[in-house]
Amino acid sequence: MGTIDLSKSDPNFRDQLTREPGGEQISACFVCRTCTASCPISAVNEKFNPFRIIRLALYGLRDEVLKNDFIWLCSSCYACQERCPQGVSITDFMTLLKNLAFKEGHAPVGIKTQMELIKAQGRIYAIDEFDNKKRNKAGLPSLPTSCDVVKELLA
Amino acid sequence: MTDGGRHPRITLLTMSEVVEVKGYVGNFQVKILKKARYVDEKECTACGECTKVCPVVWPDEFDLGLSSRRAIFSPFPQAVPSAYVININECLGHNPVVCAKCVEACDKGCINFHLSDEEIVEEVGSIIVATGLEVYDPTELDEYGYTRFENVLTSLEFERLINAGGPTKGELIRPTDRKRPRSIGFIQCVGSRSARKGGNYCSNVCCMNTVKSTLMLKEHYPDMEIKVFYIDIRAFGKGFEDLYRRSRRLGVQYLRGLPGAVEETPERTLTVAVENTVTGRLQILDLDMLVLAIGIKPASSTQKLQEMLGLQLSPDGFFLEAHPKLLPVDAATRGLFYAGCAEGPKDIKESVTQASAAAARAIRLMHEGKITSEPITSMVVPEHCKSCGKCAEVCPYNVITVDVKKKIPAVVNTAACAGCGTCAAECPFGAITMNHFTDTQILQQVEALLEEDPREKILAFACNWCSYAGADYAGVSRLQYPPNVRLIRTMCSGRVDERFIWHGFLKGAPVVLVSGCHIGDCHYIDANHWTEKRVKKVHKKMSKLGIRPERLQLEWISAAEGLRFSEVMKRMETLRQGVTQDEISETIEILKNQKK
């Protein structure tokens, strides 16, 4: 966990977050830690701790939150959001952080690659003739190899 | 309780329901439905012979289903009156009588199946509402597994288990294997302090109840491992911190952090995942039993009673007192008082204190046989009254009677009238005079205040309790606000008649402000709702006539908001500067033509 260095705190970060959808309620957190105790990710990986991420955000530690890859570990299962007694939209908040991090170019390589694949092909997993042959053998219909609709959507 | 039952001047009506309440302070008529007991409560000696022969077995409500009772039973050992009662829906049948074993068993012949519910009307002078509470049902909090896992109990079920008079004679056992648990966990704030499920308020008693339970456990079973999961332990009050400290000294582990999930193991123990705030680590604990410290919520009868008595509720759903600090046991309507959890979550001591206070307040009001009331009441001039019924509709206290069908003029019950003046403001025929705040008095104030340079003035109506007091507070706090504000005091913003506003504009007022208590804080129950409606109506009319609606403003300013008062007044001044002489003259012209 380590120490928290408040000298790098950005006082505007909290305000910025509370204005965005998903971040409105974060200052209501009263540290009951129901979120962490509910989190299936926290149970297996100590690095991901929703309560700690909210705290870091409230302290204004922008870089520590956005540049770290732990925000990408959230599986969006909504267990924390469902159970939070203070009504903090924790999962939505994680999505907000992911979006901010992406905008600032801090997304992990895997996420960036996925993004590029979707833009280029409309799919994360490219379908080619080989796949369709296998599908046909199994009695399944062929799938289109390109997904131009997605291109239109993202254009 | 027994003392209350024995007192010669206390009539206790058990198994009774209030159906209707009419009247006002000193003269309430209460219609009560007294349900049939089927046992003569004066003759019954509670010997219990009837219970022995009754063949019908039901879960015992007092023991929360942890034991059973018969269809003829005593609800709990100290029940008053100490007479048995038959739940006729469970009884095998009395019409025709198919079983009647109890009738045979009763030597005194107390059981009578021919009794029926009766309706009685009581005349009373004052009413104390002490309808108690209900507890939160934690089933919806699925993560704790209540009802899914048998060894997860509520604090009430636990209480019955360790109570010497309970189903186990005070022996704590696990419901699944009937063995004493070696470890036990308590989860706090179940259904309290939650914005999502249960109440968002603190239920006040659960922390100390848990502390008490842990102490009892440690006294009986010193080796038991006890863990308390909490957010904050609220041990305020006399002797409470001592109790908490003692519990910790005896080895009870207080672990800060609420569990996220509870699972059952094949051995029927419970796995609890919780993050310990102190270490910042997620802990997986294995416990034999789990107790949920459930919160308090308003009784389900609250809403019905509120409508019947014309009371108000706070946002939590409990009854609202007339003043949180100065009138904590009084209702806004005279002659009505609160005691206990009906007014908000509280412990036994506080309930006793409040009940004593409520009784004393009621005696103080009643002992003389007469009451003094403020002369500020409304009066109907019967010659002008057209019996339209508007006044009766708006009266927050329901003290105006008018027969719309038979065209009998309205009559104000001056003893019960609180003097807000909403009726006078709403009367379309000017048939109601509000004593001390008559139309003439106020219209002349308007004229006097706008006599010289009306363009420079801001005409403001302020209610006595909030906005006028807010102005006072602004003054006392040495806050600056424009000196050209002219205040007219009314008891309630509900008194501000449409005509006062039009008259103000006619006399050249650039800006008119109507101000009162915040919605929900009105000192006359909800009279300011009518202010709001009226101002909206005037706004519409202004737009139709071609007068800028912004020139009429409505603001809620409380007595403590001196700063807000000065800010509102500054805004009014900016608004006033935007109104030109031409605009005012035009308005006067419009209104004069309108009159013709």
Model pLDDT for residues B138-184, shown as the tens digit of each residue: 999 999 999 999 999 999 999 999 999 999 999 999 999 999 999 99
Interface test with A, best of B258, B262, B285 (most A CBs within 10 A): B258
Identity of residue B321: E
pLDDT at B268: 94
**Which chain A residue has its CA at the smallest distance from B283's CA?**
A37
Nearest CB partner across the interface for B275, out of A1, A36, A84? A36
Confidence of residue B347 (pLDDT cuts 50, 70, 90): very high
Model pLDDT for residues B478-525, shown as the tens digit of each residue: 999 999 999 999 999 999 999 999 999 999 999 999 999 998 788 888
pLDDT at A33: 92
User: Coil, helix or strand for B108?
Assistant: coil
H/E segment holding residue B296: strand B296-298
| Inter-chain touch B273–A37, beta carbons under 8 Å | yes
Q: Which token pair is B304? A: 């019905």
Range name among A135-149, B69-83, B235-249, B375-389 with the lowest pLDDT average = A135-149
Q: How many CB atoms sit inside 10 A of residue B46's CB?
A: 15
Range name among B196-210, B515-529, B569-583 with the lowest pLDDT average = B515-529
pLDDT at B16 over 90: yes
Residue B452, exposed/middle/buried by CB under 10 A (0-12, 13-18, 19+)?
exposed
Which among B491, B490, B529 has a CA at the least distance from the CA of B395?
B529
Backbone angles phi, psi at B86, to 5 degrees: -105, 130
H/E segment holding residue B262: strand B261-264
| Inter-chain touch B277–A33, beta carbons under 8 Å | yes
pLDDT at B491: 95
Q: Which token pair is B66? A: 């942890």
pLDDT at A151: 77
Give the distance from residue B159's alpha carbon to the nearest chain A alpha carbon, in angstroms: 26
DSSP secondary structure of B4-65:
HHH-TT-----SEEEEEEEEETTEEEEEEEE---SB-TTT-----HHHHH---EEE-TTTTT
Cα–Cα distance measured from residue B525 to residue B523, given in angstroms and rounded to the nearest whole number: 6
Q: Please report the sign of the dihedral spanned by the C-alpha atoms of residue B208, residue B214, residue B218, residue B220.
A: positive
Give the distance from residue B281's alpha carbon to the nearest chain A alpha carbon, in angstroms: 8
Q: Please report the sign of the dihedral spanned by the C-alpha atoms of residue B252, residue B256, residue B262, residue B265.
A: negative
| Inter-chain touch B274–A33, beta carbons under 8 Å | yes
| Inter-chain touch A32–B261, beta carbons under 8 Å | no
| Inter-chain touch B282–A31, beta carbons under 8 Å | no
pLDDT at B201 over 90: yes
Chain B residues inside the 8 Å CB shell of A38:
143, 260-261, 273
Per DSSP, helices labelled H in B221-367 are 240-249, 302-309, 348-366
Nearest CB partner across the interface for B277, out of A31, A46, A82? A31
| Inter-chain touch B195–A38, beta carbons under 8 Å | no
pLDDT at B537: 96
- Mean pLDDT across chain B: 93
**Which chain A residue has its CA at the smallest distance from B229's CA?**
A32
pLDDT at B243 over 70: yes
Which among B182, B259, B201, B200 has a CA at the least distance from the CA of B228?
B259
Model pLDDT for residues B214-235, shown as the tens digit of each residue: 999 999 999 999 999 999 999 9
Cα-based distances in Å from B35 to B107, B120, B165, B282, B466 = 24, 11, 28, 55, 46
| Inter-chain touch B260–A39, beta carbons under 8 Å | yes
Give the position of tokens 């806050």.
B479
* Low-confidence spans in chain A with pLDDT less than 50: none
Chain A residues inside the 8 Å CB shell of B280:
1, 52
Chain A residues inside the 8 Å CB shell of B257:
32-33, 37
Contact criterion met (CB below 8 Å) for B370 and B145: no
Give the distance from residue A102's alpha carbon to the nearest chain B alpha carbon, in angstroms: 29
CATH of A9-103, one of 2.60.40.790, 1.10.1060.10, 3.40.50.150, 2.60.40.10: 1.10.1060.10
- Residue scoring higher pLDDT (B554 or B5): B554
Residue B281's DSSP bridge partners are B276
| Inter-chain touch B260–A34, beta carbons under 8 Å | yes
Interface of B with A (CB under 8 A): 141, 143, 189, 193-197, 231, 257-261, 273-275, 277, 280, 282
DSSP secondary structure of A110-127:
HHHHHHHHHHHHSSSS--
Q: How many residues does chain B have?
A: 596
pLDDT at B416: 84
Give the distance from residue A32's alpha carbon to the nearest chain B alpha carbon, in angstroms: 5
pLDDT at B69: 95
Q: How many CB pairs (< 8 A) connect A and B?
A: 65
Contact criterion met (CB below 8 Å) for B263 and B275: no
- Residue scoring higher pLDDT (B543 or B416): B543
Q: Which token pair is B92? A: 């095998």
Q: How many CB atoms sit inside 10 A of residue B202's CB?
A: 17
Chain B residues inside the 8 Å CB shell of A44:
none
Q: Provide ipTM, 2 decimals.
A: 0.71
| Inter-chain touch B231–A31, beta carbons under 8 Å | yes
Helix axes B206-220, B155-162, angle to 10 degrees: 30
User: Coil, helix or strand for B133?
Assistant: strand
Model pLDDT for residues B447-485, shown as the tens digit of each residue: 999 999 999 999 999 999 899 999 999 999 999 999 999
pLDDT at B70 over 70: yes
pLDDT at B95 over 80: no
Q: Which token pair is B408? A: 């009998």
Chain B residues inside the 8 Å CB shell of A36:
260, 275, 282
pLDDT at B521: 81
**Which chain A residue has its CA at the smallest distance from B256's CA?**
A32
pLDDT at B107: 92
Model confidence, pTM: 0.78
Give the distance from residue A49's alpha carbon to the nearest chain B alpha carbon, in angstroms: 10
Q: Which long-range contacts (CB under 8 A, 24 or more apart) does A86-89 make?
A: A86/A25, A86/A28, A86/A29, A86/A30, A86/A32, A86/B194, A86/B195, A87/A25, A87/A28, A87/B195, A87/B196, A88/A25, A88/A26, A88/A28, A88/A29, A88/A35, A88/A54, A89/A22, A89/A24, A89/A25
Model pLDDT for residues B360-380, shown as the tens digit of each residue: 999 999 998 888 888 999 999
| Inter-chain touch B258–A34, beta carbons under 8 Å | yes
Chain A residues inside the 8 Å CB shell of B195:
28, 84-87
Give the distance from residue B301's alpha carbon to the nearest chain A alpha carbon, in angstroms: 27
Measured at the CA of A23, the angle between CA A28 and CA A63, to 5 degrees, comes to 105
Average pLDDT on B131-144 reads 95
pLDDT at B290: 97
Chain A residues inside the 8 Å CB shell of B194:
85-86
Which among B149, B150, B140, B186 has a CA at the least distance from the CA of A85?
B140
Tell me the pairing of strands B68-70 and B432-434.
Answer: unpaired
Model pLDDT for residues B261-297, shown as the tens digit of each residue: 999 999 999 999 999 988 888 999 999 999 999 999 9
Cα-based distances in Å from B450 to B319, B501, B551 = 44, 12, 16
Interface test with A, best of B140, B275, B284 (most A CBs within 10 A): B275
Model pLDDT for residues B546-558, shown as the tens digit of each residue: 999 999 999 999 8
User: Domain ranges in chain A?
Assistant: 9-103, 109-154
Residue B75, exposed/middle/buried by CB under 10 A (0-12, 13-18, 19+)?
middle
